[in-house]
Amino acid sequence: MRIGILALQGAVREHLKLVEACGHEALPIKRVDELEQIDGLILPGGESTAMRRLMDRYGFTEALRASDLPMFGTCAGLILLAENVVGLEEGHLGKLNITVERNSFGRQIDSFEAELDVEGIDEKATAIFIRAPHIVSADTGAEVLSWVDDKIVAVRSDRHLGISFHPELTDSTVFHQFFIDMVQKYAEAGFSVGT
């Protein structure tokens, strides 16, 4: 599989490394036409407002809204994939039928680490949260995969995956492998992959 990482802002290099560690090809994506070369796209963490501005400037907002590519959003990337964002009139890409709230875990715990149980992953997963969003509600088509206390922090749909935290800041490939398996299933099912 060829997995792209949206390379406008944020933690790109770490994602490239983990995709390669899974034995797949990883490509930084800087231009819309490069979306044709990949089977799935990772939207990294960073700052969602800044990323949205850059996505508008380089034509990604429109292209990704229209795209069938499976997408995996981490932290700010999760915010970009949500149908609704608390405080915004309209979500950014509307890929996951969820409502997210930004910076949900309070100032005094700007960042923290947790060992999570995740539906579909056998081992405990180390999750690093940095000014992280959480998922307020997961609606039709969005399956909840993990919680921290009473807050949802991971969901998937048929082909999109969204998590509140940063798997790329650990050495573990479990989430990248999980996404690549989703991409592979989607490709095998014969859906049009590409743009």
Binding site for L-glutamine, residues? 46-48, 102, 130-131
Q: Is 166 a catalytic residue?
A: yes
Q: Is 75 a catalytic residue?
A: yes
Task: Identify the sign of the CA torsion 84, 102, 40, 97.
Answer: negative
Say what the alpha-carbon torsion angle 154, 139, 89, 63 is, to the nearest 10 degrees: 70
Q: Is 22 a catalytic residue?
A: no
Compose the 33-62 pattern: x for residues touching ligand GLN by CB under 6 A, - for all others.
------------xxxx--------------
Burial of 61 (0-12, 13-18, 19+ CB in 10 A): middle
Contacts of 57 (CB under 8 A, 6+ apart): none
Work out how close the CB of 183 gets to ligand GLN at its nearest, in angstroms, rounded to a whole number: 22
30 and 187 Cβ atoms separated by less than 8 Å: no
Residues 90-129 that bind ligand GLN (CB under 6 A): 102-103
With CB under 6 A as the rule, give the number of residues binding ligand GLN.
11
Work out how close the CB of 101 gets to ligand GLN at its nearest, in angstroms, rounded to a whole number: 10
Residues in the annotated binding site: 46-48, 102, 130-131
64 interacts with ligand GLN by CB under 6 A: no
Work out how close the CB of 130 gets to ligand GLN at its nearest, in angstroms, rounded to a whole number: 4
- Judged by the rule CB under 6 A, the positions of this chain that interact with ligand GLN are 45-48, 75-76, 79, 102-103, 130-131
